Structure 1
Amino acid sequence: MDTTPVKTILSRPVFGTLSPQTGSHHLFVADAEGALAISDMAARAPAGFFEGAEIVYIPDPDGKHVAALEALKPGQFHQAPSFASLLPRLKQTLANAHMGLRLYLAGTEGLIGQAMQVALEAGIDHTSIQTEHRGSLARRMQCVHCKGITENVTTQPATCAHCGLLLLVRDHYSRRLAAFQGVCINAEDRSEIPPMEEIFR
């Protein structure tokens, strides 16, 4: 019997654990449970670490964890209702960044992927970026047929929010798009509709 471990899919992102780094500016971008990763890191950070830090946070609708992040007394704290709404601020901050910037991304895979994409496009060195996944495993999916992006996919298969096709959510992850690929699951016979299961919670 072969006991060789199954190779992981190389395109899948690999996340670590946030840890305080030396740098001239610390920028945190997080959503939902990502706040817990920042709070956990704060317990290991030296005194005064957050005085010059900036936290940009997308809270859950109930506003949970906002008070905990504010209690860290960061130099700047901003809340945003969605990633799209914080994008202009993030792009401007990264465009004006100097050597010594440290970027910390925490929360859902969708947030981390999109923020990483923006940072790399802005020329931020990947060694200056730390990531930690916390919370939902919901996926950001791109339909390979219509190219539309569907956010927060939790089922397998999933329906494309743009063209309505029933898609198999593949494990292939596109770093360029910050999304998993979705392929029509019943292309040969549309009457074949496999049951949907909650897989990515």
Structure 2
Amino acid sequence: MEITHANRSKSENPLSERTRKNPWWIETMLVDGIKSRPRYNGLSVNKSSRNHVFVADGDGVNAIADLFAVHSQDIGGHVTIVFAEHNEGKAEHAAPLESISADSVHIMPSIPTAINRLAGVLHSARMGTQIYASGTEALIGLTIQLAQAYGMDPQSVITEHRGSFARRVQCVHCKGFTEDVRTNIVECAHCRTNLLVRDHYSIRHAAFQGVCVDAEVPGDLPQVIEAFK
């Protein structure tokens, strides 16, 4: 029986002087014009919908509050809000919910639990339901992924980015996901491969793609920078 391993051996050698001085990987990490890179056009009201489902985390709730402050008269029908709290600034982030006129509000302790709650909402949703997602890229991506799983056009989800640009990254080698990535180089949380975080994005996986950065010389890494704050 042939057995393959997603992870590989790592060199114990310290980083080379060439690696410390040569930042060329940084320049090739983010490439303009990649079509899969998500774009967020900002929240707007779908006036024809009679069932509005808003999903947000962190500062994303302020985007919903701003929309209601200007266009509340255009939002007709049933309004549901699913909000994912974060450990930092819970009270501050949740406060705007009090100013929003909604029929039901679900405050969840994390993004995964908020997505699970959203699945329950969509399970009983009717034709013509409009989904809105605002907040971090991870929250928006997972919302779009779920909407697609329920047969909706992913491009129909109205989005607005607020807050951190930290990324959800899929390792192309072991297929595992690493959450809340803020640096250009990250160690895969599963197979421990050093990954270069690219702008290539998968809607199906709701994640940016990470590829092995030191395949030729294990342990020889480019400069690590905080690229996604």
Question: What is the TM-score of this pair, normalised by structure 1?
Answer: 0.90
CA offsets, 1:68-100, max 9 Å, x none?
112213111111112221233211221211122
Quick check: 1:107 aligned with 2:135? Answer: yes
1:128-167 aligned at under 5 Å gives the runs 128-167=156-195
Q: Is the 8 A contact 1:50 1:75 kept in 2?
A: no
1:20 equivalent in structure 2:
45
Q: How many residues align?
A: 196
Match for 2:148 among 117, 120, 123? 120
Segments ≥4 residues shifted beyond 4 Å? none
**Residue 46 of structure 1, CA deviation:** 3.1
CA offsets, 1:18-46, max 9 Å, x none?
11222111100011111121111112213
Match for 1:10 among 35, 39, 42? 35
Instruction: Please state which structure has a larger fraction of its residues in helix.
Output: 2
Percent identity at matched positions? 45
Quick check: 1:183 aligned with 2:207? Answer: no
**Residue 13 of structure 1, CA deviation:** 1.1
The whole-number CA distance in structure 2 between the counterparts of 1:98 and 1:127 is 18
Q: Is the 8 A contact 1:110 1:178 kept in 2?
A: yes
Q: Is the 8 A contact 1:101 1:128 kept in 2?
A: no
**Residue 7 of structure 1, CA deviation:** 5.2
Q: Is the 8 A contact 1:113 1:179 kept in 2?
A: yes
What is the SS of the residue equivalent to 1:198? coil
Quick check: 1:44 aligned with 2:70? Answer: yes
The whole-number CA distance in structure 1 between the counterparts of 2:84 and 2:129 is 21
Structure 1 stretch displaced more, 64-73 or 99-108 = 64-73
Query: Per the alignment, do residues 112 and 148 of structure 1 end up closer, same or farther by CA in structure 2, a change over 3 Å counting?
Result: same
Match for 1:168 among 189, 196, 200? 196
What is the SS of the residue equivalent to 1:42? helix
Say which structure, 1 or 2, has more relative contact order (CA 8 Å, 6+ apart): 2
Q: Is the 8 A contact 2:85 2:111 kept in 1?
A: no
Q: What is the letter of the counterpart of residue 58 of structure 1?
A: A
Match for 2:110 among 82, 86, 90? 82
Q: What is the letter of the counterpart of residue 26 of structure 1?
A: H
Unaligned 5+ runs, structure 2: 1-30
Unaligned 5+ runs, structure 1: 1-5
CA offsets, 1:131-166, max 9 Å, x none?
111111111100111111001100011111111111
- Give the number of the structure whose alpha-carbon radius of gyration is greater: 2
2:21 equivalent in structure 1:
none
Structure 1 stretch displaced more, 129-138 or 93-102 = 93-102
- Superposition CA RMSD, Å: 1.9
**Residue 48 of structure 1, CA deviation:** 8.3
Q: Is the 8 A contact 1:144 1:181 kept in 2?
A: yes
Q: What is the letter of the counterpart of residue 104 of structure 1?
A: Y
